[in-house]
Protein backbone atom coordinates (compact mmCIF):
# COMPACT_ATOMS: atom_id res chain seq x y z
CA UNK A 1 0.00 0.00 0.00
CA UNK A 2 2.91 2.34 0.75
CA UNK A 3 4.31 1.78 -2.74
CA UNK A 4 0.93 2.69 -4.26
CA UNK A 5 0.77 5.86 -2.16
CA UNK A 6 4.29 6.97 -3.06
CA UNK A 7 3.67 6.52 -6.80
CA UNK A 8 0.42 8.50 -6.65
CA UNK A 9 2.11 11.35 -4.75
CA UNK A 10 4.96 11.49 -7.28
CA UNK A 11 2.49 11.72 -10.19
CA UNK A 12 0.62 14.58 -8.48
CA UNK A 13 3.81 16.50 -7.67
CA UNK A 14 5.04 16.29 -11.27
CA UNK A 15 1.62 17.45 -12.48
CA UNK A 16 1.64 20.57 -10.29
CA UNK A 17 5.25 21.47 -11.12
CA UNK A 18 4.46 21.41 -14.84
CA UNK A 19 1.00 23.01 -14.62
CA UNK A 20 2.15 26.26 -12.97
CA UNK A 21 4.52 27.47 -15.74
CA UNK A 22 2.16 26.17 -18.44
CA UNK A 23 -0.65 28.19 -16.89
CA UNK A 24 1.39 31.37 -17.12
CA UNK A 25 2.30 30.61 -20.73
CA UNK A 26 -1.31 30.00 -21.77
CA UNK A 27 -2.41 33.23 -20.08
CA UNK A 28 0.14 35.22 -22.06
CA UNK A 29 -0.85 33.55 -25.34
CA UNK A 30 -4.53 34.31 -24.98
CA UNK A 31 -3.83 37.89 -23.88
CA UNK A 32 -1.75 38.44 -27.01
CA UNK A 33 1.44 38.93 -24.99
CA UNK A 34 4.87 37.97 -26.32
CA UNK A 35 5.99 34.38 -25.66
CA UNK A 36 9.10 32.47 -26.72
CA UNK A 37 7.27 31.04 -29.77
CA UNK A 38 5.93 34.40 -30.97
CA UNK A 39 8.74 35.02 -33.43
CA UNK A 40 8.07 31.73 -35.20
CA UNK A 41 4.29 31.51 -34.96
CA UNK A 42 3.07 35.09 -35.38
CA UNK A 43 3.77 35.08 -39.16
CA UNK A 44 1.92 31.76 -39.43
CA UNK A 45 -0.97 33.19 -37.42
CA UNK A 46 -1.24 36.21 -39.73
CA UNK A 47 -1.24 33.97 -42.81
CA UNK A 48 -4.10 31.91 -41.34
CA UNK A 49 -6.15 35.05 -40.71
CA UNK A 50 -5.46 36.31 -44.23
CA UNK A 51 -6.30 33.02 -45.96
CA UNK A 52 -9.49 32.44 -43.96
CA UNK A 53 -10.46 36.13 -44.09
CA UNK A 54 -10.63 36.44 -40.30
CA UNK A 55 -10.48 39.86 -38.68
CA UNK A 56 -8.75 39.09 -35.36
CA UNK A 57 -9.57 42.58 -34.06
CA UNK A 58 -13.33 42.00 -34.34
CA UNK A 59 -14.83 41.90 -30.84
CA UNK A 60 -17.90 39.64 -30.84
CA UNK A 61 -20.78 39.82 -28.40
CA UNK A 62 -21.81 36.59 -26.72
CA UNK A 63 -24.56 35.81 -29.22
CA UNK A 64 -22.29 36.04 -32.25
CA UNK A 65 -19.57 34.14 -30.40
CA UNK A 66 -22.13 31.38 -29.69
CA UNK A 67 -23.35 31.26 -33.28
CA UNK A 68 -19.79 30.95 -34.58
CA UNK A 69 -19.03 28.11 -32.16
CA UNK A 70 -22.29 26.35 -33.06
CA UNK A 71 -21.91 26.69 -36.83
CA UNK A 72 -18.29 25.54 -36.75
CA UNK A 73 -19.20 22.52 -34.60
CA UNK A 74 -22.22 21.51 -36.71
CA UNK A 75 -20.24 21.72 -39.94
CA UNK A 76 -17.44 19.71 -38.34
CA UNK A 77 -19.92 17.06 -37.24
CA UNK A 78 -21.41 16.58 -40.71
CA UNK A 79 -18.01 16.51 -42.44
CA UNK A 80 -16.70 13.88 -40.02
CA UNK A 81 -19.93 11.87 -40.32
CA UNK A 82 -19.50 11.82 -44.12
CA UNK A 83 -15.82 10.81 -43.86
CA UNK A 84 -16.69 7.85 -41.64
CA UNK A 85 -19.60 6.62 -43.76
CA UNK A 86 -17.69 6.93 -47.05
CA UNK A 87 -14.14 6.07 -45.92
CA UNK A 88 -14.15 3.09 -48.29
CA UNK A 89 -13.81 5.53 -51.20
CA UNK A 90 -11.25 7.82 -49.57
CA UNK A 91 -7.43 7.59 -49.68
CA UNK A 92 -5.07 6.27 -46.98
CA UNK A 93 -7.02 3.04 -46.56
CA UNK A 94 -4.49 0.29 -47.31
CA UNK A 95 -6.61 -2.36 -45.55
CA UNK A 96 -9.71 -1.51 -47.62
CA UNK A 97 -11.90 -1.00 -44.55
CA UNK A 98 -15.52 -0.24 -45.42
CA UNK A 99 -17.62 2.68 -44.21
CA UNK A 100 -19.38 2.68 -40.85
CA UNK A 101 -23.14 2.35 -40.45
CA UNK A 102 -25.08 5.63 -40.38
CA UNK A 103 -25.81 5.37 -36.65
CA UNK A 104 -22.23 4.46 -35.70
CA UNK A 105 -20.97 7.28 -37.92
CA UNK A 106 -23.32 9.74 -36.19
CA UNK A 107 -22.27 8.52 -32.75
CA UNK A 108 -18.57 8.87 -33.56
CA UNK A 109 -19.01 12.27 -35.23
CA UNK A 110 -21.01 13.57 -32.26
CA UNK A 111 -18.46 12.03 -29.90
CA UNK A 112 -15.37 13.66 -31.41
CA UNK A 113 -17.09 16.99 -32.14
CA UNK A 114 -18.04 17.28 -28.47
CA UNK A 115 -14.55 16.32 -27.19
CA UNK A 116 -16.03 13.11 -25.74
CA UNK A 117 -14.37 10.50 -27.98
CA UNK A 118 -16.62 7.63 -26.94
CA UNK A 119 -16.09 4.66 -29.26
CA UNK A 120 -18.15 1.46 -29.51
CA UNK A 121 -15.58 -0.30 -31.72
CA UNK A 122 -11.87 -1.02 -32.15
CA UNK A 123 -10.19 1.73 -34.13
CA UNK A 124 -7.74 -0.52 -35.98
CA UNK A 125 -10.51 -2.74 -37.40
CA UNK A 126 -13.15 -0.08 -38.12
CA UNK A 127 -11.37 3.08 -39.29
CA UNK A 128 -8.92 3.85 -42.09
CA UNK A 129 -5.77 5.91 -41.67
CA UNK A 130 -7.59 8.81 -43.34
CA UNK A 131 -10.49 8.64 -40.89
CA UNK A 132 -8.14 8.33 -37.91
CA UNK A 133 -5.67 11.02 -38.89
CA UNK A 134 -7.67 13.66 -40.81
CA UNK A 135 -11.13 12.91 -39.45
CA UNK A 136 -10.70 12.18 -35.76
CA UNK A 137 -7.37 13.89 -35.20
CA UNK A 138 -8.63 17.20 -36.62
CA UNK A 139 -11.48 17.09 -34.12
CA UNK A 140 -9.05 16.24 -31.32
CA UNK A 141 -7.48 19.65 -31.87
CA UNK A 142 -10.47 21.87 -32.63
CA UNK A 143 -12.91 20.43 -30.07
CA UNK A 144 -10.30 20.96 -27.34
CA UNK A 145 -9.60 24.46 -28.66
CA UNK A 146 -13.29 25.43 -28.55
CA UNK A 147 -13.47 24.59 -24.84
CA UNK A 148 -10.43 26.75 -24.09
CA UNK A 149 -11.78 29.58 -26.26
CA UNK A 150 -15.10 29.65 -24.36
CA UNK A 151 -13.21 29.72 -21.06
CA UNK A 152 -11.29 32.82 -22.12
CA UNK A 153 -14.51 34.46 -23.28
CA UNK A 154 -15.81 33.96 -19.73
CA UNK A 155 -12.60 35.33 -18.23
CA UNK A 156 -13.03 38.49 -20.31
CA UNK A 157 -16.55 38.76 -18.95
CA UNK A 158 -15.08 39.09 -15.45
CA UNK A 159 -12.20 41.37 -16.44
CA UNK A 160 -13.85 43.85 -18.80
CA UNK A 161 -16.14 46.61 -17.55
CA UNK A 162 -19.21 48.00 -19.34
CA UNK A 163 -18.32 46.41 -22.68
CA UNK A 164 -20.23 44.20 -25.09
CA UNK A 165 -17.47 42.13 -26.72
CA UNK A 166 -16.02 38.95 -25.19
CA UNK A 167 -13.40 38.26 -27.87
CA UNK A 168 -13.17 36.71 -31.30
CA UNK A 169 -14.04 33.01 -31.55
CA UNK A 170 -11.88 32.29 -34.58
CA UNK A 171 -8.87 34.18 -33.23
CA UNK A 172 -9.17 32.45 -29.85
CA UNK A 173 -9.34 29.04 -31.49
CA UNK A 174 -6.42 29.79 -33.80
CA UNK A 175 -4.20 30.91 -30.91
CA UNK A 176 -5.13 27.86 -28.87
CA UNK A 177 -4.31 25.38 -31.62
CA UNK A 178 -1.22 27.16 -32.90
CA UNK A 179 0.51 28.21 -29.66
CA UNK A 180 -0.69 25.61 -27.15
CA UNK A 181 -1.96 22.35 -28.62
CA UNK A 182 0.40 21.87 -31.56
CA UNK A 183 3.68 22.58 -29.68
CA UNK A 184 2.70 20.39 -26.73
CA UNK A 185 1.53 17.62 -29.06
CA UNK A 186 4.76 17.70 -31.04
CA UNK A 187 6.80 17.37 -27.85
CA UNK A 188 4.75 14.46 -26.49
CA UNK A 189 4.62 12.78 -29.94
CA UNK A 190 8.41 12.79 -30.20
CA UNK A 191 8.82 11.35 -26.72
CA UNK A 192 6.33 8.51 -27.12
CA UNK A 193 7.50 7.76 -30.67
CA UNK A 194 11.01 7.36 -29.26
CA UNK A 195 9.55 4.77 -26.87
CA UNK A 196 8.19 2.67 -29.72
CA UNK A 197 4.73 4.07 -30.50
CA UNK A 198 4.24 3.56 -34.29
CA UNK A 199 4.03 6.51 -36.65
CA UNK A 200 3.77 5.04 -40.13
CA UNK A 201 1.55 4.69 -43.20
CA UNK A 202 2.64 1.09 -43.85
CA UNK A 203 0.11 -1.70 -44.29
CA UNK A 204 -0.57 -3.92 -41.31
CA UNK A 205 2.22 -6.46 -40.74
CA UNK A 206 1.71 -10.22 -40.64
CA UNK A 207 3.91 -12.09 -38.16
CA UNK A 208 4.53 -15.74 -37.32
CA UNK A 209 3.19 -16.87 -33.94
CA UNK A 210 5.68 -18.44 -31.55
CA UNK A 211 3.02 -20.93 -30.52
CA UNK A 212 0.20 -21.89 -32.95
CA UNK A 213 -3.37 -21.48 -31.68
CA UNK A 214 -6.26 -23.83 -32.48
CA UNK A 215 -9.66 -22.11 -32.85
CA UNK A 216 -13.07 -23.70 -33.24
CA UNK A 217 -15.19 -22.66 -36.23
CA UNK A 218 -18.95 -22.20 -36.23
CA UNK A 219 -19.49 -25.52 -38.02
CA UNK A 220 -17.64 -27.43 -35.29
CA UNK A 221 -14.38 -27.88 -37.22
CA UNK A 222 -11.08 -26.48 -35.98
CA UNK A 223 -8.44 -24.33 -37.62
CA UNK A 224 -4.79 -24.05 -36.70
CA UNK A 225 -3.70 -20.40 -36.67
CA UNK A 226 0.03 -19.84 -37.18
CA UNK A 227 0.10 -16.15 -38.12
CA UNK A 228 -1.31 -12.92 -36.70
CA UNK A 229 -1.92 -9.44 -38.09
CA UNK A 230 -0.14 -6.57 -36.33
CA UNK A 231 -2.08 -3.30 -36.84
CA UNK A 232 0.08 -0.24 -37.49
CA UNK A 233 -0.64 3.37 -38.43
CA UNK A 234 0.16 7.02 -37.60
CA UNK A 235 -0.42 6.47 -33.90
CA UNK A 236 2.01 8.75 -32.01
CA UNK A 237 0.63 11.98 -33.50
CA UNK A 238 -2.95 11.10 -32.55
CA UNK A 239 -2.17 9.67 -29.12
CA UNK A 240 -0.36 12.85 -28.02
CA UNK A 241 -3.28 15.18 -28.74
CA UNK A 242 -5.85 12.66 -27.52
CA UNK A 243 -4.23 12.85 -24.07
CA UNK A 244 -3.40 16.56 -24.03
CA UNK A 245 -6.78 17.63 -25.40
CA UNK A 246 -8.68 15.37 -22.97
CA UNK A 247 -10.04 13.47 -25.99
CA UNK A 248 -9.16 9.87 -25.18
CA UNK A 249 -10.25 7.93 -28.27
CA UNK A 250 -8.21 4.78 -28.78
CA UNK A 251 -6.16 4.41 -31.95
CA UNK A 252 -6.17 0.71 -31.07
CA UNK A 253 -9.06 -1.09 -29.40
CA UNK A 254 -7.22 -1.72 -26.13
CA UNK A 255 -6.55 2.01 -25.86
CA UNK A 256 -3.64 2.92 -23.58
CA UNK A 257 -3.24 -0.66 -22.41
CA UNK A 258 -2.12 -1.62 -25.93
CA UNK A 259 1.66 -2.21 -26.09
CA UNK A 260 1.92 -0.07 -29.24
CA UNK A 261 -0.01 2.83 -27.73
CA UNK A 262 1.73 2.78 -24.37
CA UNK A 263 4.84 0.60 -24.57
CA UNK A 264 7.12 1.72 -21.69
CA UNK A 265 7.03 3.26 -18.19
CA UNK A 266 8.27 6.56 -19.68
CA UNK A 267 5.50 6.67 -22.29
CA UNK A 268 3.01 5.83 -19.55
CA UNK A 269 4.28 8.70 -17.38
CA UNK A 270 4.14 11.26 -20.19
CA UNK A 271 0.70 10.17 -21.33
CA UNK A 272 -0.75 10.08 -17.82
CA UNK A 273 0.56 13.53 -16.87
CA UNK A 274 -0.79 14.82 -20.20
CA UNK A 275 -4.30 13.83 -19.13
CA UNK A 276 -4.52 16.63 -16.56
CA UNK A 277 -1.76 18.99 -17.65
CA UNK A 278 -3.79 21.60 -19.57
CA UNK A 279 -6.88 21.51 -17.28
CA UNK A 280 -4.66 21.95 -14.21
CA UNK A 281 -2.62 24.68 -15.91
CA UNK A 282 -5.77 26.60 -16.83
CA UNK A 283 -6.57 27.05 -13.13
CA UNK A 284 -3.38 29.09 -12.76
CA UNK A 285 -4.14 30.84 -16.06
CA UNK A 286 -7.51 31.87 -14.62
CA UNK A 287 -5.92 33.44 -11.54
CA UNK A 288 -3.32 35.24 -13.62
CA UNK A 289 -5.75 36.66 -16.17
CA UNK A 290 -8.37 37.85 -13.66
CA UNK A 291 -5.44 39.58 -11.90
CA UNK A 292 -5.92 37.69 -8.64
CA UNK A 293 -3.82 34.53 -8.45
CA UNK A 294 -5.56 33.51 -5.23
CA UNK A 295 -8.77 32.87 -7.19
CA UNK A 296 -7.04 30.41 -9.49
CA UNK A 297 -5.32 28.68 -6.59
CA UNK A 298 -8.65 28.35 -4.76
CA UNK A 299 -10.29 26.68 -7.76
CA UNK A 300 -7.23 24.45 -8.22
CA UNK A 301 -7.26 23.37 -4.57
CA UNK A 302 -10.98 22.54 -4.67
CA UNK A 303 -10.38 20.34 -7.71
CA UNK A 304 -7.18 18.84 -6.34
CA UNK A 305 -8.68 17.90 -2.96
CA UNK A 306 -11.50 16.00 -4.67
CA UNK A 307 -8.97 14.35 -7.00
CA UNK A 308 -6.78 13.31 -4.05
CA UNK A 309 -9.73 11.77 -2.19
CA UNK A 310 -10.74 9.91 -5.35
CA UNK A 311 -7.19 8.58 -5.77
CA UNK A 312 -7.14 7.30 -2.18
CA UNK A 313 -10.51 5.54 -2.50
CA UNK A 314 -9.73 3.88 -5.83
CA UNK A 315 -6.17 2.93 -4.87
CA UNK A 316 -7.21 1.48 -1.50
CA UNK A 317 -10.11 -0.57 -2.86
CA UNK A 318 -8.10 -1.99 -5.76
CA UNK A 319 -5.19 -2.88 -3.49
CA UNK A 320 -7.50 -4.42 -0.87
CA UNK A 321 -9.47 -6.35 -3.48
CA UNK A 322 -12.71 -8.11 -2.50
CA UNK A 323 -13.62 -10.82 0.01
CA UNK A 324 -14.02 -13.23 -2.91
CA UNK A 325 -10.47 -12.54 -4.14
CA UNK A 326 -9.06 -12.92 -0.62
CA UNK A 327 -11.17 -16.09 -0.09
CA UNK A 328 -11.84 -15.22 3.55
CA UNK A 329 -8.16 -14.55 4.21
CA UNK A 330 -6.75 -17.73 2.72
CA UNK A 331 -5.23 -15.75 -0.19
CA UNK A 332 -2.55 -13.17 0.62
CA UNK A 333 -3.61 -9.76 -0.72
CA UNK A 334 -0.45 -7.85 0.11
CA UNK A 335 2.36 -6.91 -2.26
CA UNK A 336 5.37 -8.81 -0.93
CA UNK A 337 6.37 -11.42 -3.46
CA UNK A 338 3.33 -10.93 -5.69
CA UNK A 339 1.28 -8.22 -7.37
CA UNK A 340 -1.42 -8.29 -4.72
CA UNK A 341 -4.79 -6.60 -4.88
CA UNK A 342 -7.38 -6.78 -7.63
CA UNK A 343 -5.26 -7.32 -10.74
CA UNK A 344 -8.12 -8.57 -12.92
CA UNK A 345 -8.36 -6.40 -16.05
CA UNK A 346 -5.05 -4.67 -15.33
CA UNK A 347 -1.69 -4.91 -17.05
CA UNK A 348 0.93 -6.52 -14.79
CA UNK A 349 3.46 -3.98 -16.11
CA UNK A 350 1.34 -1.16 -14.68
CA UNK A 351 0.11 -2.75 -11.46
CA UNK A 352 -2.40 -1.27 -9.02
CA UNK A 353 -0.85 2.18 -8.55
CA UNK A 354 -0.56 3.25 -12.18
CA UNK A 355 -3.84 1.62 -13.20
CA UNK A 356 -5.81 3.24 -10.37
CA UNK A 357 -4.13 6.62 -10.92
CA UNK A 358 -4.84 6.53 -14.65
CA UNK A 359 -8.48 5.54 -14.05
CA UNK A 360 -8.90 8.47 -11.66
CA UNK A 361 -7.03 10.98 -13.82
CA UNK A 362 -8.85 10.06 -17.03
CA UNK A 363 -12.35 10.26 -15.52
CA UNK A 364 -11.50 13.45 -13.63
CA UNK A 365 -10.15 15.01 -16.82
CA UNK A 366 -13.06 13.88 -19.00
CA UNK A 367 -10.35 12.25 -21.10
CA UNK A 368 -11.60 8.70 -21.51
CA UNK A 369 -8.38 6.89 -22.41
CA UNK A 370 -7.82 3.82 -20.22
CA UNK A 371 -4.91 1.52 -19.43
CA UNK A 372 -7.06 -1.02 -17.56
CA UNK A 373 -10.58 -2.46 -17.77
CA UNK A 374 -12.87 -0.48 -15.46
CA UNK A 375 -15.46 -3.27 -15.69
CA UNK A 376 -13.10 -5.41 -13.57
CA UNK A 377 -12.63 -2.86 -10.79
CA UNK A 378 -14.06 -3.50 -7.33
CA UNK A 379 -17.55 -2.04 -6.78
CA UNK A 380 -16.29 1.03 -4.89
CA UNK A 381 -13.18 1.31 -7.05
CA UNK A 382 -15.46 1.50 -10.10
CA UNK A 383 -17.95 3.83 -8.39
CA UNK A 384 -15.45 6.67 -8.01
CA UNK A 385 -14.55 7.04 -11.72
CA UNK A 386 -18.27 6.93 -12.48
CA UNK A 387 -19.01 9.65 -9.91
CA UNK A 388 -16.18 11.86 -11.20
CA UNK A 389 -17.90 11.89 -14.59
CA UNK A 390 -21.34 12.40 -13.08
CA UNK A 391 -20.22 15.52 -11.21
CA UNK A 392 -20.09 17.28 -14.58
CA UNK A 393 -16.40 16.96 -15.48
CA UNK A 394 -15.47 19.68 -12.97
CA UNK A 395 -12.63 17.91 -11.12
CA UNK A 396 -10.22 19.49 -13.62
CA UNK A 397 -12.44 18.17 -16.42
CA UNK A 398 -11.94 18.81 -20.11
CA UNK A 399 -9.74 21.50 -21.63
CA UNK A 400 -11.51 24.75 -20.78
CA UNK A 401 -14.94 23.22 -20.26
CA UNK A 402 -13.95 21.65 -16.95
CA UNK A 403 -12.90 25.00 -15.53
CA UNK A 404 -15.88 26.97 -16.82
CA UNK A 405 -18.09 24.22 -15.40
CA UNK A 406 -16.44 24.66 -12.00
CA UNK A 407 -16.87 28.44 -12.28
CA UNK A 408 -20.58 27.72 -12.77
CA UNK A 409 -20.52 25.90 -9.44
CA UNK A 410 -18.57 28.81 -7.92
CA UNK A 411 -21.30 31.23 -9.04
CA UNK A 412 -23.92 28.92 -7.51
CA UNK A 413 -21.87 28.75 -4.29
CA UNK A 414 -21.61 32.52 -3.83
CA UNK A 415 -25.33 32.86 -4.54
CA UNK A 416 -26.27 30.20 -1.96
CA UNK A 417 -23.78 31.56 0.57
CA UNK A 418 -25.12 35.08 0.03
CA UNK A 419 -28.65 33.90 0.80
CA UNK A 420 -27.48 32.06 3.92
CA UNK A 421 -25.51 34.90 5.53
CA UNK A 422 -27.25 37.90 4.03
CA UNK A 423 -24.37 39.05 1.84
CA UNK A 424 -24.63 40.38 -1.70
CA UNK A 425 -23.77 37.59 -4.17
CA UNK A 426 -20.58 38.73 -5.89
CA UNK A 427 -17.82 36.90 -7.71
CA UNK A 428 -14.62 38.60 -8.82
CA UNK A 429 -16.16 42.03 -8.14
CA UNK A 430 -19.17 41.39 -10.39
CA UNK A 431 -22.68 41.09 -8.95
CA UNK A 432 -24.32 37.72 -9.45
CA UNK A 433 -27.95 38.38 -10.27
CA UNK A 434 -30.90 36.15 -11.28
CA UNK A 435 -29.82 35.82 -14.93
CA UNK A 436 -26.32 34.60 -14.06
CA UNK A 437 -27.78 32.23 -11.49
CA UNK A 438 -30.23 30.72 -14.00
CA UNK A 439 -27.44 30.16 -16.51
CA UNK A 440 -25.19 28.68 -13.81
CA UNK A 441 -27.94 26.22 -12.92
CA UNK A 442 -28.06 25.11 -16.56
CA UNK A 443 -24.28 24.63 -16.52
CA UNK A 444 -24.41 22.54 -13.33
CA UNK A 445 -27.55 20.47 -14.00
CA UNK A 446 -27.14 19.67 -17.72
CA UNK A 447 -24.99 16.63 -16.96
CA UNK A 448 -27.27 15.00 -14.33
CA UNK A 449 -30.36 15.59 -16.47
CA UNK A 450 -28.83 14.08 -19.61
CA UNK A 451 -27.33 11.05 -17.84
CA UNK A 452 -30.42 10.16 -15.81
CA UNK A 453 -32.92 10.70 -18.63
CA UNK A 454 -30.80 8.83 -21.17
CA UNK A 455 -29.99 5.88 -18.92
CA UNK A 456 -33.57 5.78 -17.58
CA UNK A 457 -35.04 5.40 -21.06
CA UNK A 458 -32.38 2.84 -22.02
CA UNK A 459 -33.11 0.77 -18.90
CA UNK A 460 -36.70 0.28 -20.04
CA UNK A 461 -35.74 -1.30 -23.38
CA UNK A 462 -35.21 -5.08 -23.72
CA UNK A 463 -32.54 -4.47 -26.37
CA UNK A 464 -30.39 -2.71 -23.76
CA UNK A 465 -30.49 -5.80 -21.56
CA UNK A 466 -29.19 -7.85 -24.47
CA UNK A 467 -26.18 -5.52 -24.73
CA UNK A 468 -25.08 -6.11 -21.14
CA UNK A 469 -22.18 -8.40 -20.29
CA UNK A 470 -23.43 -9.02 -16.74
CA UNK A 471 -26.85 -9.22 -15.06
CA UNK A 472 -27.97 -7.61 -11.82
CA UNK A 473 -26.31 -4.68 -10.10
CA UNK A 474 -23.13 -4.91 -12.16
CA UNK A 475 -25.15 -4.86 -15.38
CA UNK A 476 -26.84 -1.65 -14.24
CA UNK A 477 -23.39 -0.20 -13.53
CA UNK A 478 -22.31 -1.04 -17.09
CA UNK A 479 -25.23 0.86 -18.60
CA UNK A 480 -25.04 3.76 -16.13
CA UNK A 481 -21.31 4.07 -16.77
CA UNK A 482 -21.91 4.33 -20.54
CA UNK A 483 -24.35 7.23 -20.19
CA UNK A 484 -22.20 8.83 -17.47
CA UNK A 485 -19.25 8.66 -19.84
CA UNK A 486 -21.30 10.34 -22.58
CA UNK A 487 -22.87 12.89 -20.22
CA UNK A 488 -19.52 13.71 -18.65
CA UNK A 489 -17.98 14.25 -22.11
CA UNK A 490 -15.53 11.55 -21.06
CA UNK A 491 -15.58 8.64 -23.50
CA UNK A 492 -14.15 5.86 -21.34
CA UNK A 493 -16.01 2.57 -21.24
CA UNK A 494 -16.70 -0.04 -18.57
CA UNK A 495 -15.64 -2.51 -21.27
CA UNK A 496 -18.54 -4.86 -20.66
CA UNK A 497 -21.31 -3.10 -22.55
CA UNK A 498 -21.99 -3.58 -26.26
CA UNK A 499 -23.24 -0.11 -27.18
CA UNK A 500 -23.12 -0.54 -30.96
CA UNK A 501 -26.87 -0.67 -31.66
CA UNK A 502 -28.96 1.96 -33.48
CA UNK A 503 -30.78 3.14 -30.33
CA UNK A 504 -27.69 3.25 -28.14
CA UNK A 505 -25.56 4.96 -30.78
CA UNK A 506 -28.18 7.65 -31.42
CA UNK A 507 -29.23 8.19 -27.79
CA UNK A 508 -25.66 8.33 -26.50
CA UNK A 509 -24.78 10.71 -29.35
CA UNK A 510 -27.66 13.02 -28.43
CA UNK A 511 -26.61 12.99 -24.76
CA UNK A 512 -23.10 14.04 -25.76
CA UNK A 513 -24.36 16.92 -27.90
CA UNK A 514 -26.78 18.15 -25.20
CA UNK A 515 -24.18 18.14 -22.43
CA UNK A 516 -21.54 19.80 -24.57
CA UNK A 517 -23.52 22.68 -26.00
CA UNK A 518 -26.08 23.64 -23.34
CA UNK A 519 -23.39 24.45 -20.70
CA UNK A 520 -21.25 26.09 -23.38
CA UNK A 521 -23.97 28.50 -24.52
CA UNK A 522 -25.04 29.15 -20.91
CA UNK A 523 -21.42 30.02 -20.06
CA UNK A 524 -21.20 32.43 -22.98
CA UNK A 525 -24.49 34.02 -21.84
CA UNK A 526 -22.96 34.53 -18.39
CA UNK A 527 -19.89 36.10 -20.01
CA UNK A 528 -22.11 38.40 -22.10
CA UNK A 529 -24.01 39.53 -19.02
CA UNK A 530 -20.95 40.06 -16.84
CA UNK A 531 -18.97 41.98 -19.46
CA UNK A 532 -21.58 44.76 -19.47
CA UNK A 533 -21.49 45.23 -15.71
CA UNK A 534 -19.37 47.56 -13.65
CA UNK A 535 -17.09 46.26 -10.94
CA UNK A 536 -18.21 46.70 -7.36
CA UNK A 537 -15.78 47.57 -4.62
CA UNK A 538 -14.88 44.91 -2.07
CA UNK A 539 -16.56 45.66 1.25
CA UNK A 540 -17.28 44.01 4.58
CA UNK A 541 -20.35 42.47 2.95
CA UNK A 542 -18.32 40.74 0.22
CA UNK A 543 -17.87 36.99 0.57
CA UNK A 544 -14.18 36.09 0.14
CA UNK A 545 -13.80 33.57 -2.68
CA UNK A 546 -10.20 32.55 -2.15
CA UNK A 547 -10.03 31.26 1.42
CA UNK A 548 -10.45 27.81 2.99
CA UNK A 549 -14.10 28.41 3.85
CA UNK A 550 -15.04 29.14 0.24
CA UNK A 551 -13.04 26.15 -1.02
CA UNK A 552 -14.94 23.94 1.45
CA UNK A 553 -18.29 25.42 0.42
CA UNK A 554 -17.46 24.92 -3.25
CA UNK A 555 -16.57 21.26 -2.73
CA UNK A 556 -19.75 20.80 -0.68
CA UNK A 557 -21.97 22.25 -3.41
CA UNK A 558 -20.33 20.12 -6.12
CA UNK A 559 -20.74 16.95 -4.08
CA UNK A 560 -24.25 17.92 -2.98
CA UNK A 561 -25.46 18.22 -6.56
CA UNK A 562 -23.79 14.94 -7.50
CA UNK A 563 -25.02 13.07 -4.41
CA UNK A 564 -28.61 14.25 -4.70
CA UNK A 565 -28.72 13.51 -8.41
CA UNK A 566 -27.04 10.10 -8.54
CA UNK A 567 -27.27 8.49 -5.11
CA UNK A 568 -30.39 6.45 -5.99
CA UNK A 569 -28.86 5.15 -9.24
CA UNK A 570 -25.49 4.40 -7.62
CA UNK A 571 -27.29 2.62 -4.77
CA UNK A 572 -28.82 0.20 -7.25
CA UNK A 573 -25.51 -0.33 -9.06
CA UNK A 574 -22.06 -0.31 -7.46
CA UNK A 575 -23.25 0.21 -3.87
CA UNK A 576 -25.65 -2.75 -4.10
CA UNK A 577 -22.89 -4.86 -5.64
CA UNK A 578 -20.54 -3.91 -2.79
CA UNK A 579 -23.00 -5.08 -0.14
CA UNK A 580 -23.67 -8.27 -2.09
CA UNK A 581 -19.95 -9.06 -1.93
CA UNK A 582 -19.59 -8.50 1.81
CA UNK A 583 -22.87 -10.22 2.72
> pLDDT for 88-120, tens place per residue?
999 888 888 899 999 999 999 999 999 988 887
pTM of the entire predicted model: 0.91
Whether 221 maps to a domain, the answer reads no
Torsions phi, psi of 99, nearest 5?
A: -70, 160
Residue ranges making up the domain that contains 354:
2-214+230-582
410 pLDDT more than 70:
yes
Alpha-carbon distance 213 to 217, whole Å?
A: 13
State how far the Cα of 265 lies from the Cα of 371, in Å rounded to an integer: 12
Domain count, the chain: 1
Residue 88 belongs to a domain: yes
Flag whether 219 is in a domain. Answer: no
Q: Is 468 helix (H, G, I), strand (E, B) or coil?
A: strand
pLDDT at 337: 57
Q: Which range among 80-89, 161-170, 368-377, 536-545 shows the weakest confidence by mean pLDDT?
A: 536-545
Decide if pLDDT at 582 tops 80.
no
Half-sphere exposure of 38 (CA within 13 A, CB side): 11
In a domain, 258, yes or no: yes
Look at residue 131 and tell me whether its pLDDT is greater than 80.
yes
**3-class SS of residue 229:** strand
Any alpha helices (H) in 365-433, and if so which ranges? 379-390, 401-421
Residue 383 lies inside a defined structural domain of this protein: yes
Question: How far is the C-alpha of 498 from the C-alpha of 478, rounded, in Å?
Answer: 10
In a domain, 511, yes or no: yes
Q: Going by DSSP bridges, is the β-strand pair 222-230/430-431 parallel, antiparallel, or unpaired? A: unpaired
Q: How far apart are CA 431 and CA 95, in angstroms?
A: 59
- Asked if the structure places residue 224 within a domain, the reply is no
Q: Identify whether 225 is part of a domain.
A: no
Q: How far apart are CA 119 and CA 140, in angstroms?
A: 14
Residues found in the chain: 583
Task: State how far the alpha carbon of 87 is from the alpha carbons of 65, 80, 94, 207, 571, in Å.
Answer: 33, 10, 11, 27, 43
| pLDDT cut 90: percent of the chain above it | 50
Cα distances from 478 to residues 44, 344, 460, 504, 565, in angstroms, run 46, 17, 15, 13, 18
Q: What is the DSSP letter of 238?
A: H
Amino acid sequence: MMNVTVQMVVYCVILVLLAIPLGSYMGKVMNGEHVFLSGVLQPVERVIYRVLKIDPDEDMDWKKYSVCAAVFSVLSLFVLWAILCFQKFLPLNPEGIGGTSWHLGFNTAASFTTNTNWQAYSGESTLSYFSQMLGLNFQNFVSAAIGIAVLFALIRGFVRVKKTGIGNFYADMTKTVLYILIPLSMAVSLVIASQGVPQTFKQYDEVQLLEPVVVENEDGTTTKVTKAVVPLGPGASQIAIKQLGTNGGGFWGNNSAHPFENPTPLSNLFEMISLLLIPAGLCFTFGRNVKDKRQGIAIFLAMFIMLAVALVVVGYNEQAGTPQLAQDGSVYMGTEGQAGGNMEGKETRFGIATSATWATFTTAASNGSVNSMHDSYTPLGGLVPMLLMQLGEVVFGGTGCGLYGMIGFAIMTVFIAGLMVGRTPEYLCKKIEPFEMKMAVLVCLATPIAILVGSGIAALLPSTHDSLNNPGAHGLSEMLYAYSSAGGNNGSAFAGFNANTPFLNVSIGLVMLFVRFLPMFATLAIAGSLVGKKKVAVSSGTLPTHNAMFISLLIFVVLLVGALSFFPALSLGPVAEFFQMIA
